[in-house]
Chain A
Amino acid sequence: MAVTVRPVTRPERDLAVQVYIVEVLKGLGVTFRHFFVNLGRHAAALAGVKAAPGAVTIQYPEDPPALGGRARTRHRILRRSDGSPRCTACLLCETICPARCIRITAEDSPAVVIEKRAKTFEIDLGLCVFCGNCVEACPVDAIRMDTGDLDIPAMDRRSMIWDLEKLMRDG
């Protein structure tokens, strides 16, 4: 898949920006404002005074992220009771996908009742925008985004593409 590039114009850099010192001080101002506001809130909480809660840093990845129940996370392909993928290769998810990250090829299924099945099924997680349209479009509930898994980075783009076997691991 080709990567498309959109040129963006940079904002003008006037003298105050170019000497840096003003901008650095502005930035430090923000940092210190947050530091003291949070310090005050935590101190108030310790003292038992009711105030807005102070910010807490989550130590990800040591601490797992707290996800909402409806959070859309990495996809999985569900299995039928006999272990075969539920996918019938109707290509509705591929058709609706706004990021064009799904690639399916179809073939005849040996089972007459099901007729069609996926020969290959790939999701490029590097392109996926996690919109969940594929889950909505699926007429047979074959794809879900409920694994809770967000640890999908890889060392190269090719490894970001998950095939059917990988997607069915927790199906």
Chain B
Amino acid sequence: MAKITLNGRPVEAADGTLLIDVAKQAGVAIPHYCYHPALGNPGNCRMCLVEIKGAPKLMPSCRVRVADGMVVSTESPAVAAAQSGELELHLVNHPLDCPVCDQSGECGLQDYYMSIGRYKSSMVEDKRHFEKRKPVGPRVMLDQERCIACTRCVRFLAEVSKTHELGMFGRGHQERIDLAPGKTLDNPYSGNVVDICPVGALTDRDFRYQVRVWYLDRSDTVCPGCSRGCAISLHTSTQRPWHNGARRAARIKPRFNPEVNGYWICDEGRYSYKALDRDRLGKVLKLKPSRAELSWDAAFSEVSSRVKGLLEDHGPQSLAVVASGALSNEDWRSFKKLFVDSWKLVNFAFDPAPDQAGEEDALLRRRDKVPNLKGGAALGFGDQIKSLPWESLAHSIEAGRIKGLYVVDRDLFGVWGAKTPGLLEGLELVVFQGPWKGSTGDLAHYRLPATAWAEEDGGFTNFEGRSQGYRAALPPVGDAQPDWRIFEGLLAGLRAGRAE
């Protein structure tokens, strides 16, 4: 342990820790651009200069490791003058087009300008001009003029994604970020360069001009995109509904979790928010034999009495349940209570393949594109209760052994393709429950709207068995209820039926 004095206050830290990190832990924020805990410390922005007693000059705190007895000041007049001078240099060629810049409101230059900036610049020369609007990839827009050459993006692409699309080109006054010859910034993690860019040089083409950041609300949640379960922050725009193309969810940003995803998320997860405002279910509907809107109570009693009838006539083998790892831990629990403990069903299908399997890599992405298979496994789904192979489920339906199907948030067209309507036509009862309209829902007798992950509190258990809670970011769509409430409602409906 090293004992240092920081701004006259004694602070203890492990030997060899970077001074900037020690200060951050002690609650002293030192301005910086180039330093990023996951991307190293080139020390090129010079914003983090501090005064260390005995050192002949100011030292960059991102390159100094603490040693016992160090006396550090981050507030001395010399430090303040140096930092505001550095900021002035960063602003020499910065176009100051904050009014049209998407970073405005969460920009490192703006923040430090307000706290330590020199309000009068001594620059009278013209600013240099580069490309203002260069799409460097399908998801990222580069503005070379706004760049302050911190090289965070270059380091991310070299060290984390290891794809090397961006580099520094030119020297001195002509130094700029650009694409490496023949490359496009289209790796599956490209969106992260937007997050780490401390200024508005790299912006998200998807988010571009949709909504100003000060209209966003932020909620801590967990990405439902794959079994990794990255910690994310969902940004929603509900204060002014005409912004953001009238969609409620505006973007997803990674949330630091050293145990799961570090500082990063993949692009698949980043843009998965779009589904939240597309093709959603909000009404409790009976679709067959004739279309009618039901109240939840009516739906619970009708569905549970029809299930009861089916089970009495043909036994518990006759109803199969299709589910997926999109259910939360809480949903799985009520799921088991209803289907296994109460209805005593035996036919379940929840295997992610083929429709919920995708690409995987060594960094974050996992093959199973559902967040919570482990939550089900913790209750025995996959172990004691095996997932039926999809083909044998189809055969059982064709052979008439299975007369009813309860589908929880799964589009069967992804599994069975074009033969799905034929299979579902012959069934006595098809119940569809889920947040999204899908072709399967249209073929059901009853269609029950459930909330999506962003509209409920819950928890996901990732592939390592790590459970993370998430909070509702948005109100439910229409009459939608969390899956577990629907299961509990059906359970109550069945109990009420028994009492009669």
Residue numbers of A with Cβ under 8 A of B are 88-92, 94-95, 103, 105-108, 112-116, 120, 139-140
Which one of A92, A107, A108, A120 lies within 8 Å of B99 (CB-CB)?
A92
Instruction: Chain B residues near A116: list those with CB within 8 A.
Output: 100, 209
Q: Is the CB of A108 within 8 A of B208?
A: yes
List chain B residues, Cβ under 8 A from A115.
97, 100, 132-133
Q: Tell me whether A89 and B133 are in contact (CB under 8 A).
A: no
Q: Which residue of A lies closest to B239 (CB)?
A: A100
State the Cβ distance, B209 to closest chain A Cβ, in Å.
Answer: 4
A–B complex contacts, Cβ < 8 Å, 23 sampled: A89-B100, A90-B99, A91-B212, A95-B212, A95-B214, A103-B240, A103-B242, A105-B242, A105-B243, A105-B245, A106-B209, A106-B210, A107-B209, A108-B208, A112-B132, A112-B133, A113-B132, A115-B97, A115-B132, A115-B133, A116-B100, A116-B209, A139-B99
Min distance, Cβ B182 to any Cβ of chain A, angstroms: 24
Q: Cα distance A139–B99 when bound, in Å?
A: 8
B205 → chain A, closest Cβ, in Å?
10
Contact of B100 with A88 in the complex, beta carbons under 8 Å = yes
Q: Name which residue of chain B comes closest to A107, CB basis.
A: B209
B228-285 contacts to A (CB < 8 Å): 240, 242-243, 245
Task: Look across to chain A and name the residue whose beta carbon is closest to the beta carbon of B214.
Answer: A95
Residues of chain A lying within 8 A (CB to CB) of residue B208: 108
* Interface bin, chain B: 10 to 19
User: Which residues of chain B come closer than 8 Å to A140, judged between CB atoms?
Assistant: 99
Give the one of A106, A108, A120, A139 with max B CB within 10 A. Answer: A106
Q: Which residue of chain B has its CB nearest to the CB of A138?
A: B99
Chain B residues near A112 (CB-CB < 8 A)? 132-133
Cα A105 to Cα B99 in complex, Å, equals: 14
Residue of chain A at shortest CB distance from B132 = A112
Count, A-B residue pairs, CB within 8 A: 34
Chain B residue nearest to A88 (CB atoms) is B100
Interface of B with A (CB < 8 Å)?
A: 97, 99-100, 132-133, 208-210, 212, 214, 240, 242-243, 245
The docked-state distance in angstroms from the alpha carbon of A65 to that of B152 is: 61
Contact residue among B100, B210, B240, B243 (Cβ-Cβ distance under 8 Å from A90): B100
Closest partner residue, chain A, to B205 (CB atom): A108
* Chain B binding surface, main DSSP class: loop
CA distance A92 to B133 in the complex (A): 22
CB pair A108 B209 closer than 8 Å: yes
Give the docked Cα–Cα distance between A89 and B242 (Å): 14
A112 to B95, CA, bound (A): 14
A114 to chain B, nearest CB (A): 8
A-side contacts of B132, CB under 8 Å: 112-113, 115
Checking A89, A92, A114, A139 against B209 with a beta-carbon cut-off of 8 angstroms, the contacting residue is A89
Interface centre among A88, A114, A116 (most CB of B within 10 A): A116
Nearest residue (CB) in A for B129 is: A113
B99 surroundings in chain A (CB, below 8 A): 88, 90, 92, 139-140
Q: How far is the CA of A108 from the CA of B240 in the complex (A)?
A: 20
Please name the residue on chain B nearest to A114 by beta carbon. Answer: B100
Docked pose: A107 CA to B208 CA in angstroms: 8
Going nearest first, the 4 A-B pairs with the smallest beta carbon separation are A90-B99, A106-B209, A116-B100, A139-B99
B264 shortest CB reach to chain A, Å: 28
Inter-chain CA distance A94–B214, complex, in Å, is: 12
Output the least CB separation between A44 and chain B (Å).
58
Task: Across the interface, name the chain A residue whose C-beta is closest to B212.
Answer: A91
Contacts of A95 in B (CB 8 A): 212, 214
Contacts of A108 in B (CB 8 A): 208-209
- Chain A nearest CB: distance from B144 CB in Å? 12
| A93 to B: closest C-beta gap in Å | 11
A161 to B313 alpha-carbon distance, docked (Å)? 63
CA A88 – CA B208 in complex, angstroms?
14
CA of A8 to CA of B308 in the docked complex: distance in angstroms? 57
* Chain A residue contacts of B242, Cβ below 8 A: 103, 105, 120
Q: Once bound together, how far apart are the Cα atoms of A120 and B210, in whole Å?
A: 13
The smallest beta-carbon distance between A91 and chain B, in angstroms, is 5
Residues in A neighbouring B214, C-beta threshold 8 A: 95
Q: For the complex formed, measure the closest distance between the CB of B103 and the CB atoms of chain A, giving whole angstroms.
A: 13
How far is A10 from B82 in the complex, measured between Cα atoms in Å? 63
| Besides A103-B240, A112-B132, 11 other A-B contacts (C-beta < 8 A) | A89-B100, A89-B209, A91-B212, A94-B240, A95-B212, A106-B209, A106-B210, A115-B132, A115-B133, A116-B100, A140-B99
Residue of B nearest to A140 (CB): B99
Kindly name the residue among A91, A112, A116, A139 whose own CB sees the greatest number of chain B CB atoms within 10 A. A91
Measured CB to CB, the closest approach of chain A to B415, in angstroms, equals 40
Report chain B residues within 8 Å CB of A103: 240, 242
**Complex: A128 Cα to B209 Cα, angstroms:** 25
A27 to B339, CA, bound (A): 79
Question: Residue on B with the closest CB to A119?
Answer: B209
A161 to chain B, nearest CB (A): 12
Chain A nearest CB, measured from B168 CB (Å): 23
CA distance A138 to B212 in the complex (A): 16
Instruction: Determine the distance from Cα of A150 to Cα of B356 in the docked complex, in whole angstroms.
Output: 61
The distance in angstroms between the C-alpha atoms of A77 and B257, with both chains bound, is 48
In the bound complex, how far is the Cα of B210 from the Cα of A95, in angstroms?
15
Minimum C-beta distance from A97 to chain B (A): 11
B452 to A: closest C-beta gap in Å: 25
Complex: A148 Cα to B209 Cα, angstroms? 33
Tell me, rounded to whole Å, the shortest Cβ–Cβ distance linking B85 to chain A.
26
A105 CA to B133 CA in the complex, in Å? 20
Instruction: Report A49 CB to chain B, min CB distance, Å.
Output: 59
Q: Please, which residue of chain B has its CB at the minimum distance from the CB of A139?
A: B99
Contacts of B240 in A (CB 8 A): 94, 103
**Chain B residues in 8 Å Cβ range of A114:** 100
Question: Which residues of chain B come closer than 8 Å to A88, judged between CB atoms?
Answer: 99-100
Q: Which chain A residues border B210 with CB–CB below 8 Å?
A: 106
